[in-house]
Structure 1
Amino acid sequence: MRIEAYNQVTQLYKNTKATKAEKSYSAALGRDEVSISQAGYDYQVAKQAVAEASDIREDKVAGLKARIQSGNYKVDSGDFASKLLEKYNSLQK
């Protein structure tokens, strides 16, 4: 038996072993999985509901418009002044 042929066979055998090991390693890692907890799912549903909701409450706006147009909407000047001062003071800080 020639020594050169033996070296070629061992090199071929080493390459095959490495390839099989790489294949089994990649097969074990080939599938990713994601698991979402119930709290995470509930958070996502709530976040989507808030994103889809309107910023303007049409029912309140319609009621106020009707009261203004009919002349029944009255503003208490004391409440208005206190809110105005409160807003002014918050802007000064």
Structure 2
Amino acid sequence: MRIDAYNQIAQVYKTTSAAKLQKTENARHGRDEVQISSFGRDYQIAKQAVTEAADIREDKVAELKAKVNSGNYSVDTADFAEKLLEKYNTSLM
């Protein structure tokens, strides 16, 4: 029976176990990081805007729908564009 071979194997296991323990200790002290893409940020902003938006005013929708269907609804495109840009600019801030 060769005892010296057993000692060599035990030494290998001891070294391997120490390396695993060191890796585990390093992992415990590590820091988790999360990176959110610009699409993710935009999605979060849109989701928040939807949840904060007021409920649909059915009476207003019905009134506008009737005007559109009868051909009596017109929009000043310059005013519309200006309001759209104002909303966009305030959302960037």
The TM-score bracket by the shorter chain reads 0.3 to 0.5
- TM-score, normalization by structure 1: 0.42
Question: Based on CA coordinates, which of the two structures has the bigger radius of gyration?
Answer: 1
